[in-house]
Amino acid sequence: MNALLVAGTTSDAGKSVVTAGICRWLARGGARVAPFKAQNMSNNSVVTPDGGEIGRAQALQAAACGVEPSVRFNPVLLKPGSDRRSQVVVLGQVWGEVTAMSYRARKAALLDTAVSTLEGLRAEYDYVICEGAGSPAEINLRANDIANMGLAQAARLPVLVVGDIDRGGVFAQLFGTLALLDAADQALVAGFVVNKFRGDPALLEPGLDQLRALTGRPVHGVLPWAEELWLDAEDSLSYVADGVVGRPAPPRGAQWLRVAVPRLPRISNATDVEALAAEPGVAVRFVTEPSRLADADLVVLPGSKSTAADLDWLRRTGLADAVLGHARAGLPVVGICGGFQMLTRRIHDEVESGAGVVDGLGLLDLEIEFAPRKTLARPSGRSFGELVTGYEIHHGVAVRRGGAAPLVELPDGAAEGAVSGSVVGTHWHGLFENDGFRRAFLRWAAQRAGRDGFEPAADTVFAEVRAAQLDLLGDLVEKYLDTDALRRLLDGGVPGGLPVLSAGMVGCGAVGDARGESPTRRV
């Protein structure tokens, strides 16, 4: 058996963190564990040691397991470039670009890839904890599903359904998710988990009892709201505009450093700024309108899956003029990947958008050309006097350099990125996770912004911050979930005889249909 699927009633219900928590709990017990997500749709991704690209959530889950990330943990990755088109990455490499409709015809082959990859992991590891995508009750997509019940059926996986009670309506979500599935799919749903609960658990018990009675399935636990959990958000919708990222600690010096990050429509690797947000005295906000840049000390232009379109959005919203005004005042601006490309004089793009030649913001004296082959790399070098590592995921290549100095010196004598006055650009993701570089950069940015009272913390180790979050997830699973029941599902598979619900048959306060018969039947 040795595998289960964590599904959710909605996006951002908590599938990723519950999966990571179960992985951490099992790994701390000495088991060899691997994460798995058959199909992820996300522009937050990383480069693996085996040279491919996977969703960032699976890299975090791999860290929870204590293993290196692998393309096998996320065999299919969809990277949306617009509302209708996505780039498809299969086992770490670009497979092509599809529309929602054209993708359907290819999913049968991709299901075979996902199932065979999962079977290989199950043979290699003691346990494999799979994460679903979105909701399994998207009945318009079920016929071609490879991420939720389609995978569960093909691999005979027991399924846990997670619901977010903080949004309200969790009982309707859990019951309705089960009731919308057909009988064969319902037979694999083994139980529920309630996530993000605040308050007295005794108030919840009557609802949990009724849910058990109505569905014939146990609630395997209620996870409390944990404010400390904020790193590595899987869904870009988690980054609320004008909200502070994370839980910033008070400054070590006399002043805060205020960071504004335009929340681009096709933002990618938004998690790059989380290492800044982990620093005491650094307040990071995602913003969507220009007034929010007025009091910022540092502006970070993040990555984008659609550089030309997001640059146009910056101009239409007035944010581009605000960024230009910020830089012309001598205040620091940093662009990462797509944000770096926007800072240049000119972008030549016949690959990603087909827009041709697009004028950049002109803050860095170089040009970008988009190449058909995507760059996937995990480079290292030296910047701000510190050894640094990062990862690259981009089609754009910096060409025709002018007067901008390089940001990173590479071991072979080449260079990466650019620095011109108070403006910095790089294609490297994860750069701020280098502790020495981050401190040196923040000191430089504070000096440029006139924040002489800001002092970077000397004891913030970002890897330890992330590890503490993973340990907290493992603690929550161990304390609040029925871990004996989880082991039974992993070792024995889905229990037999689970009832099948018929949607719409439960009356108000009564169980039964018009003839007084039970709305469930056994399978």
β-bridge mates for residue 347, sequence order: 358, 368
Catalytic (active site) residue 337:
yes
How far is Cα 240 from Cα 260, in angstroms, rounded to an integer? 13
How far from 252 is each of 283, 292, 433, 457, 463, CA to CA, in Å?
Answer: 13, 25, 19, 6, 20
**Ramachandran angles phi, psi of 208, nearest 5°:** -65, -40
Catalytic (active site) residue 429:
yes
Find out whether 130 and 4 touch, Cβ atoms under 8 Å: yes
How far is Cα 280 from Cα 286, in angstroms, rounded to an integer? 18
∠420-421-424 over CA atoms, to 5°? 55
How far is Cα 25 from Cα 483, in angstroms, rounded to an integer? 9
Handedness of CA 392, 393, 399, 402 (dihedral sign): negative
∠214-196-206 over CA atoms, to 5°? 35
What is the bridge-based pairing of β-strands 364-377 and 391-399?
Answer: antiparallel
Residue type for position 257: L
Among 185, 204, 331, 175, smallest CA distance to 257 is for: 331
Pick the catalytic residue: 326, 394, 427, 429?
429
Find out whether 408 and 428 touch, Cβ atoms under 8 Å: yes
| Cα 392 from chain centroid (whole Å) | 17
Pick the catalytic residue: 337, 394, 395, 427?
337
User: Which regions of 282-410 does DSSP assign to beta strands (E)?
Assistant: 282-287, 298-301, 303-304, 333-336, 344-349, 356-359, 364-377, 380-383, 386-389, 391-399, 408-409
Catalytic residues: 337, 429
